[in-house]
Amino acid sequence: MGLMPSPYQNKSFRAVLAMFWEPQRIALPEHCVLKSAAALSRFMNEYGWPTRAVIRATRKHVLKELLKYAPRGKRPHLQVIIDLTTLEKRGKFKAFSQLIHILHGKRGLHIVVMYLVVGEWRVPWAFRPWRGKDAVTPAQLGLKLLRTLPKKLISRFRVLVLADTGFSSVEFVNGVEKLRVFQAIVGIPKNRLMANGRAIKTITKKGQQVQITGFEKMVNASWFYLHRNGKLEKRFVISTRVLKGSTISWWGRRRWATLRLFQDCQISIWVG
């Protein structure tokens, strides 16, 4: 609170936080009962306040709390979820013309986000905007985010990277392998080819070791089912480390459940 440059901005900041903590999870300015939508718009878009200092202060507190987590038994897991999120935009945004692009048929601001999950803690930690097809790829952005993880977390936890099929590229999986300190469980398209020329959907045993075309090392593959549009959809997933098929499926399914929670609780971003 002390980082806000004026009492007026301090009140607006408090109103924004109170809105995010509402049980109904409706984080839109028109639903705020403490400040008008216009006041919050000015706070988010016009007034100058130390955004980076707020982020640093928040991360410092979060890091302190995460390091306190010490359950009995084996060294606990730190789940690092890498996801590509699209904030769809319509109209012209001159100030953000270099950030608004079309990806997978959606026009808007495309952001690669890194979430951390430890015990009961679920925290959006960092993000990078995608700047178009001629710039750094989402896979490269995801790898950059992984490199920013504090060394204290890497040494304290067993780091498990969870990502969907959008990050099943050769570039991303091989990049995670080169970092060595991470284990990755990544969704993979069912028609992805193995070195023997057959598609991944032809595997018959969970936990089967396969060689995916382009991957430097062999991976273990499995599958699980998701309820999508009233039907069961079969999803394939791979692990860069040797794990039982049931374990790979469990982590793959958990990634989807955890990400859905983040999507339900995600913070609205107002631009322009």
Domain borders along the chain are 73-265
The percent of residues above 70 in pLDDT, for the chain, comes to: 91
> Binning pLDDT at 50, 70 and 90, where does residue 272 land?
very low
Q: How many CB atoms lie within 10 A of CB 83?
A: 22
Close Cβ partners of 225 (under 8 Å, ≥ 6 residues apart): 232, 233, 234, 235
246 has a pLDDT exceeding 50: yes
- pLDDT at 270 (0 to 100): 37
- Yes or no: say if 239 and 184 are a contact pair by the CB < 8 Å rule: yes
Three-class SS of the chain: CCCCCCHHHHHHHHHHHHHHCCCCCCCCHHHCCCCCHHHHHHHHHCCCCCHHHHHHHHHHHHHHHHHHCCCCCCCCEEEEEEEEEEEECCCCCHHHCCCEEEECCEEEEEEEEEEEEECCEEEEEEEEECCCCCCCCHHHHHHHHHHCCCHHHHHHCEEEEEECHHHCCHHHHHHHHHHCCCEEEEEECCCCEECCCCEHHHCCCCCEEECECCCCCCEEEEEEEEEECCEEEEEEEEECCCCCHHHHHHHHHHHHHHHHHHHHHCCCCCCC
Q: What is the end-to-end Cα distance of the chain in Å, rounded? A: 25
- State the average pLDDT over residues 223-250: 91
- pLDDT at 228 (0 to 100): 79
- pLDDT at 186 (0 to 100): 95
Interval 90-144: pLDDT, tens: 777 777 777 888 887 888 888 899 999 998 888 889 999 988 888 899 999 999 9
CATH (residue range 73-265): 3.90.350.10
Residue predicted with more confidence, 95 or 270:
95
Q: How far is CA 144 from the centre of its chain?
A: 13
Mean pLDDT of the chain: 86
160: amino acid identity, one letter: L
Indicate the pTM of the whole model: 0.83
Residue 52 to residue 217: CA distance in whole angstroms? 39
- pLDDT at 265 (0 to 100): 47
- State the average pLDDT over residues 23-49: 78
67 has a pLDDT exceeding 60: yes
CA dihedral sign of residues 130, 213, 235, 183: negative
Q: How many CB atoms lie within 10 A of CB 68?
A: 9
Q: Which of 51-55, 211-215, 265-269 has the highest mean pLDDT?
A: 211-215
